[in-house]
Amino acid sequence: MNYFPDEVLEHVFDFVTSHRDRNAVSLVCKLWYRVERFSRERVFIGNCYAISPERVIMRFPGLKSLTLKGKPHFADFNLVPHDWGGYVQPWIEAFAKSRIGLEELRLKRMLVSDESLELLSRSFANFKSLVLVSCEGFTTDGLAAIAANCRFLRELDLQENEIDDPSGHWLSCFPESCTSLISLNFACLKGEINLAALERLVARSPNLKSLKLNRAVPLEMLQKILMRAPQLVDLGTGSFVHDPDSETYNKLKATVLNCKSIRNLSGFLEVAPRCLPAIYPICLNLTTLNLSYAAGIHGSDLVKLIRRCVKLQCLWILDCIGDKGLEVVASTCKELQELRVFPSDPFGVGHAAVTENGLVAISSGCPKLHSLLYFCQQMTNAALETVAKNCPNFIRFRLAILDPTKPDPVTMQPLDEGFGAIVRSCKRLRRLSMAGLLTDQVFLYIGMYAEQLEMLSIAFAGDSDKGMLYVLNGCKKLRKLEIRDSPFGNAALLTDVGKYETMRSLWMSSCEVTLGGCKTLAKKMPRLNVEIINEHDQMDIGPEDGVRVDKMYLYRTLDGQRKDAPEFVWTL
Amino acid sequence: MDGTLGLLGGGGGGGGGGSSGASTNESTVSKVDVVEQDFVGMSSEASSYPAEAELELGLGLSLGGGVKAKPCTWGERGRILTAKDFPSVVSHGSSVPSRFTDRATAASVGPVSGTKRAADSVSQEGGSPTGVSQVVGWPPIRAYRMNSLVNQAKSQRAEEDKMIGEKDKSRDASKKKIYTKTDPAAKEKCHLGFVKVNMDGVPIGRKVDLNAHSCYETLAQMLEDMFFRSTTAVSSIGSGGEKEQSTKASGYKLLDGSSEFVLTYEDKEGDWMLVGDVPWGMFLTSVKRLRIMRTSEANGLGPRFQERNDRQRCNPI
């Protein structure tokens, strides 16, 4: 290895792109570590509190792209207080002070302020790409700063963020000289948009490939935009409502015929089903279809649409499609790899829902399926066993039953055997979420068979500490474990404390773990932050070690206790 | 009807068939009935179930004591549970810690029926109508998606209303999950009513679930707990400021104009109004977000502000 000059090594490392592989490369020897760190351009940090920005800067001076994740996953479901943490500001400040030429920033579940966005926009001359997923704390003023100051912006992608939009003028802040846009997604904005500014922006962006509009963009504007950007690959419609007998609609139909590159379609946040035929020509070539926000399309309109999408690889849909609709998917979409079925009526009476039959149909029609998120009314062991047989290639398998502890309705048994079949058959399974009535037995199966499992979500499951222990002992590659409302306590938590340093994080809420148990753990493992999230001031009443902890989140870190924890978060 | 408190009172049989063993789905279905009967005085589901189901406390798996109902034909499908069916896990400031410990204890009992647990371990605070809170975070749908579902439903209904030409406010109000005794058509689908709350001078906002309240008083109380007891923590990120004197007063402080702050809300038209001026139900249909405003700035909301000192705030109308 010593014979190669560094440049050769670096050139070889250029072909190593996944961050995990690069991490592995850097561990080989000091020379490789050195070459790797200077040549690394993309850094992924799964927990923003695992390391300080300064250390990242020191190690990777050539960094161009940073991905950061903040709050724990259960924050998506309102289990984590909004001001728990995950601020991006310290990162941007640190990077701004350094000589890092940041070009791309991707954030998930972080708190982002307008000040942060403004600082970002002013600090990096070559900044090109901003992707925000499930973030909050900012308004369209922050977006205006990005638009105005990032001269070479290529990508602004906002996915499912809660954004205050007091004014729609941010779009007008893109200067006339900005012609570099490749991707623009503002579907999650709730407010009005300056439509003229949008049209002009599209007109001067010849490289625009991905455009996702919000609800405020009407069909007439969609038609004009598609006229200007027939090269689009990725389209999210805004409002898709019009009189199908009008001239505008006919123009749209003609324009769509010219858009031969569209492969990914989404949106339809408002939709008049009679207008759907306009997009039929696109369906033939679609590989991704996301109708999970299109509550206005159901029944036969939905089926007609799906029947045309023979090349579909990824489908996100609402459960109003029903089992029958899923059978249509199964017979039409033979290339399907990813399916997500969301509930259209999470708390209502269950007529719009799918059952195990829909899933079985999909599994027999779509053998390439490897990623699943399925919200259903009920599930049976028999169905899961069939699915496991039909689709042994699952990488992600997430099931949610609207009644979280529902047993197999046919046999009244827990769903242990069904999930056992899944983990036995799907040897490449990396992510699993379970639902339904589950005992310790399912965890035994998981510990025994789920060798590649990296992320496991448990809710309302198990009988005793043994369940959690099976998982901790058996799943060698486990990185993230999140548990809620399950009877696991100190014995499970403390049996193998070293395990947690091999994992990114552990979340336990409404379990049996006590304050004393957490303290013991924190004492034994100084390189873990053990945080108790305490919203009910249990601790104020004189914390006793025997008190059960409501929410505990622990994670490995090189940075010690974080300094921005709010009052209700207690790091032990 | 075997009745104890709250969720575990008597009620119709479950919607599931089957024998012994883990039958929590039935239990929770029957709980739904119970809830409606006890709190609303009517249950539209009652007719579907046999009247004399006997309830035993069964599988305790974290649902506040499983309730086992007499089996009935499987032909009647269990309905999708409303979030009401589950004991509250956490809603900001409104639940009691001991509940979780009891629930967790029950959960470790395993699938054996007959573990009678005191109903009060699951009872909600004061047995008030708002006691049937949601299980936070179930089903596990990202909050953004949940809110957008709700908003879509709202706007669809609004359009239907317009088409029908009716401005039937009581119908509107009943479409929300308002759990008040006075609301006859309270069997409505439950949905998340999280709205943002910002306070002047505090950078990070919070969210409250309006559906967890049935009147202004409890809402104001919760907001006071949220903002006035942890204000320093929120506004000085991480400096761990001292706790302020707990203003655990009557819940009136934000509503009666006596404190430095008033509670206001933005309605559908974008106007800022003082909270408390309209009946609770109407408030729910029009509120978009809340703001705790400095009293000095609220003067623009003029005449109402003077009048409200005379009005009783805590009636759920």
Domains and CATH numbers, chain B: 195-232+252-294 (3.10.20.90)
- The Cα A479–Cα A297 span in angstroms is 39
Nearest-Cα distance to chain A for B309, in Å, is: 31
Is residue A226, in this structure, part of any structural domain at all? no
- Judged by CB atoms closer than 8 Å, whether chains meet at A536 and B28 is answered as no
pLDDT above 80: residue A247 = yes
The shortest CB-CB distance from A353 to any of B80, B97, B152 is to: B80
- Judged by CB atoms closer than 8 Å, whether chains meet at B23 and A412 is answered as yes
Domain end call among A192, A208, A224? A208
Is residue A344, in this structure, part of any structural domain at all? no
More confident site: A369 or B65:
A369
The shortest CB-CB distance from B62 to any of A81, A296, A460 is to: A460
- The Cα A259–Cα A209 span in angstroms is 11
Residues A34 and A53 in one domain: no
Residues A28 and A159 in one domain: no
Contact list, A405 vs chain B (CB under 8 Å): 22, 24-25, 59, 61-63
Residues A1 and A95 in one domain: no
Residues A62 and A13 in one domain: no
Q: Are B203 and B235 in contact (CB under 8 A)?
A: yes
More confident site: A207 or A191:
A207
b or e along B282-315 (b: 16 or more beta carbons within 10 Å of the residue's beta carbon)? Answer: bbbbbbebbbbbeeeebeebeeebeebeeeebbe
Q: What is the pLDDT of residue B52?
A: 42
Residues A34 and A64 in one domain: no
Strands B206-209 and B194-199: antiparallel
**CATH at A9:** 1.20.1280.50
**CATH at A84:** 3.80.10.10
pLDDT above 90: residue A235 = yes
CB contact residues (below 8 A), chain A span 26-65, against chain B? none
The shortest CB-CB distance from A348 to any of B61, B80, B107 is to: B80
pLDDT above 80: residue A136 = yes
The string of pLDDT tens digits covering residues A417-439 is 999 999 999 999 999 999 999 99
Residues A4 and A55 in one domain: no
The shortest CB-CB distance from A512 to any of B22, B104, B206 is to: B104
Residues A33 and A116 in one domain: no
Is residue A468, in this structure, part of any structural domain at all? no
Tell me which range, A518-532, B7-21, B132-146, is most confidently predicted by mean pLDDT.
A518-532
The string of pLDDT tens digits covering residues B230-239 is 544 333 333 3
Give the contacts of B237 (CB within 8 A, at least 6 positions apart).
A83, A87, A564, A566, B203, B204
More confident site: B22 or A8:
A8
Is residue A112, in this structure, part of any structural domain at all? yes
Cα A495 → chain centroid: 32
- Judged by CB atoms closer than 8 Å, whether chains meet at A407 and B24 is answered as yes
- Judged by CB atoms closer than 8 Å, whether chains meet at B80 and A550 is answered as no
Structure-derived torsion over alpha carbons of residues B8, B193, B280, B127, reported in degrees to the nearest 10: 20
Q: Quote the mean pLDDT of chain A.
A: 93
Domain end call among A208, A232, A252? A208
- The Cα B48–Cα B148 span in angstroms is 32
Percentage of chain B modeled with pLDDT above 90: 2
ipTM rounded to 2 decimals:
0.90
- The Cα A291–Cα A321 span in angstroms is 10
State how many domains chain A has. Answer: 2
DSSP 8-class letter at B126: G
More confident site: A316 or A4:
A316
CB-based contact (8 Å) between A536 and chain B? yes
Exposed (0-12), middle (13-18) or buried (19+): which is A195, by Cβ within 10 Å?
A: middle
- The Cα A71–Cα A110 span in angstroms is 6
Distances (CA, A) of A75 to A111, A230, A321, A404: 12, 39, 28, 18
**What's at A170, amino acid-wise?**
W
Q: What is the pLDDT of residue A452?
A: 96
Section A22-38 average pLDDT: 90
Is residue A11, in this structure, part of any structural domain at all? yes
pLDDT above 70: residue B131 = no
Is residue A550, in this structure, part of any structural domain at all? no
Cα A443 → chain centroid: 25
Contact list, B244 vs chain A (CB under 8 Å): none
The string of pLDDT tens digits covering residues A383-426 is 999 999 999 999 999 999 988 899 999 999 999 999 999 999 99
Residues A130 and A29 in one domain: no
Instruction: Please spell the DSSP secondary structure of A185-239, one letter per residue.
Output: E-TT--S---HHHHHHHHHT-TT--EEE--TTS-HHHHHHHHHH-TT-SEEE-SE
Is residue A491, in this structure, part of any structural domain at all? no
Residues A27 and A156 in one domain: no
- Judged by CB atoms closer than 8 Å, whether chains meet at A83 and B234 is answered as yes
The string of pLDDT tens digits covering residues B6-41 is 333 333 333 333 334 334 444 444 443 433 343 333
- Judged by CB atoms closer than 8 Å, whether chains meet at B140 and A76 is answered as yes
Residues A64 and A30 in one domain: no
Range of the domain at A160: 44-208
CA angle in degrees (0–180, nearest 5) for B232-B236-B238 = 105
Is residue A553, in this structure, part of any structural domain at all? no
Residues A66 and A186 in one domain: yes
Residues A179 and A133 in one domain: yes
CB contact residues (below 8 A), chain B span 258-317, against chain A? none
pTM confidence score: 0.71
pLDDT above 60: residue A128 = yes
B144: its two tokens: 């953004």
Contact list, A137 vs chain B (CB under 8 Å): 203-204
The shortest CB-CB distance from B152 to any of A162, A295, A409 is to: A295
